[in-house]
Amino acid sequence: MASPKKLQGLVAATITPMTSDGKINCSVIEQYVDYLVINQGVKNVFVNGTTGEGLSLSTEERKQLAEAWVTKGKDKLDHVIIHVGALSLPETKELVRERIFPFLCLSIKYDCLLSLPLSDALVAFLQEVASEAPDTPFYYYHIPPLTGVKIRVEELLDGITEQIPTFQGVKFSDTDLLDFAQCVNKYQEKFVLLYGVDEQLLSALVVGASGAVGSTYNYLGKQYNVMLEAFAKQDLELAQQCQVHPLHLLIIFSFVCLGFGVAQIKEVMTFASGIVMGPPRLPLLRASQDFIEKANAKLKSV
């Protein structure tokens, strides 16, 4: 069931490439995989999540993207995690089930499934989804700023494997480092605990994160890998320098001054990788020309 290689290090929350008329563009996924592996040293991906505009895609599009990442990433990527959360339970279950039917005949298997909660009946929901794929490792995607589900993850983890035997870990996209630290303290050996606020990764490493999922690892993977290595060698000074590297500051600059979101991430990634990511899907609007010019000038200067 579980992939033999334990998931650690960086996981790029992938962007969904789109054509200028707003259709998904799977034709560049192979190039995207190579860019992540060769240029950024990132060998894990999280597909169809927040950065990937997963909830703006149809179920069919999500299946196509999942299939493209799994096939193009074969023998290149270590882990492909597919986000299967949707706004309806039947859609979520359809995504999970599809993994077994058309994909199995292509010898495709998702490494892991990850699901976003819909209601307070969180465990019941996770259980229902996970049971559709009883052989696939399952993660909980904790992102309270977007879902409004403000639980303490430590409490969720208590006894979770009795209810969900495939439970593998958490993608923790919240700034509550106390809760995260308590999860690590209790469950470091048992679960994979991935941190999801890129700007605070060093703090999460200090409390014991085993890896990180985020949008900036698409184009800052190399820099963050230096930080991970420095931290592993206990070179805290270098690790600190990496966390406030000019490129990271650019992200903060972009966020504060220019407004930063998926539309902007698409532009930055297009500029950094040379792979055209296209516009975001409505209701997101394309980044302004002003953003593109300022961000590109900033990127060039660093």
Binding segment toward ligand SI3, per CB under 6 A, in 45-53, 68-76, 152-160, 226-234: 45-53
Among 25, 92, 215, 273, binds ligand SI3 (CB under 6 A): 215
213 is in an annotated binding site: yes
Asked if 221 interacts with ligand SI3 (CB under 6 A), we say: no
C-beta of residue 278 within 8 angstroms of C-beta of residue 25: yes
Q: Give the torsion through C-alpha atoms of 272, 278, 279, 282, to 10 deg.
A: -130
Among 92, 166, 216, 218, binds ligand SI3 (CB under 6 A): 216
Shortest CB 70 distance to ligand SI3, Å: 18
Dihedrals phi, psi of 110, to nearest 5 degrees: -70, 145
Nearer to ligand SI3, 198 or 267 (CB): 198
Rounded to whole angstroms, how far apart are CA atoms 75 and 269?
24
C-beta of residue 284 within 8 angstroms of C-beta of residue 261: yes
- The residue annotated as part of the active site, out of 171, 187, 195, 266, is 171
Asked if 267 interacts with ligand SI3 (CB under 6 A), we say: no
51 is in an annotated binding site: yes
Dihedrals phi, psi of 169, to nearest 5 degrees: 170, -165
Dihedrals phi, psi of 79, to nearest 5 degrees: -135, 135
294 membership: H or E segment, kind and range = helix 289-301
* Location of structure tokens 């999460």: 204
- By Cβ distance, which residue is nearest to ligand SI3? 49
Binding segment toward ligand SI3, per CB under 6 A, in 46-54, 63-71, 100-108, 224-232: 46-54
Tell me which residues touch ligand SI3 (CB under 6 A): 13, 46, 49-52, 173, 196-199, 213-216
Residues annotated within a binding site for pyruvate? 51, 213
